[in-house]
Amino acid sequence: MTDLFTFGEAMALFMSSDTDSVKTAIKYEMSAAGAEGNVAVAARRLGLDVYFQTKLGNDHLGDNVAHQFAHEGFETGHFLRVENYTGALVRNRGVSEPLDVTYLRRCSAGSTFAPADIDVAKLEKSRWLHVTGITAALSDSARDAVAFAMEIARTNSVGISFDLNIRRKLWSPEKASKTLRELVHNVDLITGGVDEYELVFGGKTPAENFELAASKNIKTLIMTAGPEKMRVMHLGEYFEFEPEIVKIVDPVGSGDAFISGTICGLLAGLDIHAAIKQGSKCGAMVAATMGDWAGMVSGKNGILPAEVWS
């Protein structure tokens, strides 16, 4: 049985390397990126059996991205290849200049995701499904794929996590709010920032948004606020958690590492407090290094090594 099933667009990431501004940069370093892929890599490094589905173009960028996942130990024979181009993003490092991201993913391979692409047989035999608002934003068919996968998971008692992960460059606030409000119900875990909860659920305070979300039969709600305390509602119990504090080198990908570490902890049998603590440690590792998953360490059976906990 597969521990974690997730799907979404894997992209080629081009990060400026000679200056900290895309306006002036001439040299770029290329790596793979994408929220669901980041979650998949973190979970695999923690020792879980992970099935990741993506769609890439029939181009050399697609070959490169697939190779990077193969290097992480993933089977890539089921990666779907289509005539649309492999998605990409261009960004600076965000050290001396504000972080700036340009997406090249309109009509990309990932935007063609549709319900028929989901490996139903594999999902039915998985323990957990992870999806995000990013895939839902790519196209109407991709949104339908998310809804379809979630329904398959519910029917087969597969745990579900949903990261709101609202990318405002991909869709309007109005469409994001309507779409995500329709999708996020009857799930085990959702996570998002204070502003994302407000956009989706429409309340004026974090407490009100927790109540609105909980009414949609969501077992665990995690509301993040960067380095500030997290708000958590688990089976009606409210508590707060102080995240791991590190010197941030690159915040991109840290949220994916956080949710992955939390999911892995839950699948490994940790209680919600310990699972979130593990997720926080995973997020801190990634934030303290440059790259979406470069700082993520290896674990066993979904748990970080003992020395990391001390």
pLDDT tens for each residue of 129-153:
999 999 999 999 999 999 999 999 9
Q: What is the CA radius of gyration of the chain?
A: 18
Choose, from 117, 188, 256, 292, the residue flagged as catalytic: 256
- Among 17-31, 219-233, 278-292, the range scoring the smallest mean pLDDT is 278-292
Average pLDDT across the chain, whole number: 92
pLDDT of amino acid 306? 79
pLDDT of amino acid 108? 96
CATH topology of domain 2-7+35-53+114-309: UDP-N-acetylmuramoyl-L-alanine:D-glutamate ligase (3.40.1190)
User: Which alpha helices (H) appear in 57-139, and where do they start and end?
Assistant: 60-71, 120-124, 133-138
pLDDT of amino acid 297? 76
CA 141 to chain centroid, in Å, comes to 19
The residue among 231 and 245 whose pLDDT is bigger is 231
- Tokens 């379809």 belong to 148
- The answer to whether 180 touches 143, Cβ cutoff 8 Å, is no
- pLDDT of residue 119 exceeding 60, the answer is yes
**Residue 256 a catalytic site member:** yes
CA pair distance 91, 128, nearest whole angstrom: 32
- pLDDT of residue 294 exceeding 80, the answer is no
pLDDT digits (tens, 9 = 90+) for 187-211: 999 999 999 999 999 999 999 999 9
Bridge partners of 266, per DSSP, are none
Bridge partners of 230, per DSSP, are 241
State the pLDDT confidence band at 82, using cuts at 50, 70 and 90.
very high
Averaged over 71-76, what is the pLDDT? 94
pLDDT of amino acid 283? 86
- 25: which residues sit within 8 A by CB, 6+ positions away? 16, 17, 18, 19, 92
Averaged over 89-98, what is the pLDDT? 88
pLDDT of amino acid 123? 98
